[in-house]
Amino acid sequence: MNSEKLCTLIIDALDDVKAKNIVTLDVRNMTSVTDYKVIASGTSNRHVRSLVNNVAEKAREAGVRPLGIEGEEGGEWVLLDLQDALLHVMLPTVREFYNLEKLWSLGASSDLAAIDR
């Protein structure tokens, strides 16, 4: 399954269980680790875990084996590694604090503040 189809599968699975504020970031030009990062919010720890579990189940049904799941114990921020796409599902307060969308949308190094030495 190509990475675009995998993203569609992830978004559909998130929609099935009522994820909030789904954002897809194309990071192919920024890292060789993955092609896409999908970020979504859940309304509670249980909802966050449910969202990730639904995506993992749909991925397995489509023949994509998750490489790992991190953060399920706490349920505030759960990461699902599907190799070509990484899924981050967070509680809104955690998502606001880490602001991954801004972090991964930084442009060239000229956009970064200079560091005085």
Q: How confident is the model over 21-49, as pLDDT tens digits?
A: 999 988 888 878 888 999 999 999 999 99
| Per-residue pLDDT, 106 | 58
Write the DSSP assignment of 58-89 as a string of letters.
Answer: HHHHTT----EEE-TTT-SEEEEE-SSEEEEE
Counting Cα atoms < 13 Å in the Cβ hemisphere of 113 gives 3
Q: What is the mean pLDDT of residues 76-91?
A: 95
* DSSP code of residue 114: P
Q: Which CATH number is correct for 3-99, 1.10.3720.10, 3.30.460.10, 3.60.150.10, 3.30.200.20? A: 3.30.460.10
Q: What 3-state DSSP class applies to 24?
A: strand
Question: Given a cut of 90, is residue 61 above it in pLDDT?
Answer: yes
Q: Which strand ranges, in their side-by-side order, compose the sheet holding 20-26?
A: 20-26, 36-41, 85-90, 77-81, 68-70
Q: What is the mean pLDDT of residues 64-91?
A: 94
| Per-residue pLDDT, 111 | 37
